[in-house]
Amino acid sequence: MKILLHKLCTINVHHEFYEGLCPDVELVPTESTKATLRGHRILWKRLAAGSMALLADRSHALNSLPSETLRLAVIATNPALGNYTAPDDLPTESGVPVYGKSTAPTALAPAYRTQIVGPIFQHDLARREDVTLQAAHDRSEYISSQVVDGAANPSVQYDLRPHGPGVYTMVETYTTPPSATTKYSILPEFQGRMVAGFVDFTISSRNLDSPTILKLQLTSNLQYRRYYIISDRLTSAEIQQLRIVDQGASIDGRAQVIFDAVSPTDFTQAETYGLALTASPHQLIMFRSTAKLPRMLRPRRRLALLLNNELQLQNLPNPGPQSPHQDIVVRT
């Protein structure tokens, strides 16, 4: 018997750094989503790193499409992801970003953050005051409501084993605004893994006629580019005549990068990398970009080092994904 599979949707994770699909992440369905897809005879297939498709037998899918929200985990396969990704797109103390459908039909936007916990966990109150604390499952299942003396009990322990995995919402209502809301995800299969985010989405009968391509766009970290030029052949006067000129903006089709020369005596406390170099007996000068630059894998070409308008280096190096900053030492 021949079964023709119909593509219902494709989910892609793009990154500004790579200017396309992000090879440093994988999409993995949660265990509950896997069970739902199996129950509706829907297959999930990895197309590439950062790309997945859902496939179904069209004749069966006409009568059997899941109504519940499906969830995929965005798993970081390269620890360097945090080096070149904007902080807003990364997990923080407040939780892991969850992306859902936005007003754009195929775009995914951050909806909220969730903390990944086990079924027994501790919820810390936002304020040490009397509070009404309510807990509910996102299946609209009410769990509990209690009044807590926040001064005496700044945290509350929950045992949600009877309620199973899923997303839980804790709402703290105080006598004076504001209230506080915290989302928890009981997903034991992802505890200890490098979860960069979650994607929540639904499919409907419209997907049978017009497969959707959902796109999660991650943005690059913005950082100042700093070149520390160290020389044992230039005099102190000559090193002050160095300059960096961006001769490749029109070639690359990008905005021109402008650099300011900064003497070691003017390094800021944030420029710890450069401050450590001041102990060197060689001549030292730094060139700092006047604006923060987005991290990108494709090199910015023709960032040229000149001495009295004479070319010293035509292409200064660019930082790779393994570097947490854009500070580069150049010896000449």
What pLDDT shows up at residue 105?
A: 59
What pLDDT shows up at residue 166?
A: 86
Q: Is the pLDDT of residue 7 over 70?
A: yes
Task: Read off the pLDDT of each residue in 94-120 and give the average, rounded to a whole number.
Answer: 84
Q: Tell me how far apart the terminal alpha carbons of the chain are, to the nearest angstrom.
A: 70
Question: Per residue in 70-104, pLDDT tens?
Answer: 999 999 999 999 999 999 999 999 899 999 875 55
Mean of the per-residue pLDDT values for the chain?
Answer: 91
DSSP states along 113-169 = EEEEE-SEEEEEPSSSSEEEEEEEETTTEEEEEEEEETTT-SEEEEE-GGG-SEEEE
Residue whose C-alpha is closest to residue 196's, from 9, 326, 45, 13:
13
Give the burial string for 124-154 (b: 16+ CB within 10 Å, else e): ebbeeeebebbbbbeeeeeeeeeebebeeee
For residue 253, CA distances in Å to 9, 130, 248, 301, 307 come to 33, 58, 8, 10, 26
- State the Cα–Cα distance between residues 141 and 252, nearest whole angstrom: 54
Q: Is the pLDDT of residue 313 over 70?
A: yes
Q: Which three-class secondary structure state does DSSP give residue 301?
A: coil
pTM of the model: 0.88
Question: Per residue in 242-269, pLDDT tens?
Answer: 999 999 999 999 999 999 999 998 998 8
- State the Cα–Cα distance between residues 277 and 267, nearest whole angstrom: 11
- State the Cα–Cα distance between residues 300 and 73, nearest whole angstrom: 33
Question: Per residue in 152-202, pLDDT tens?
Answer: 999 999 999 998 888 999 999 999 999 999 999 999 899 889 999 999 988
For residue 88, CA distances in Å to 26, 182, 291, 293, 320 come to 19, 18, 19, 16, 21
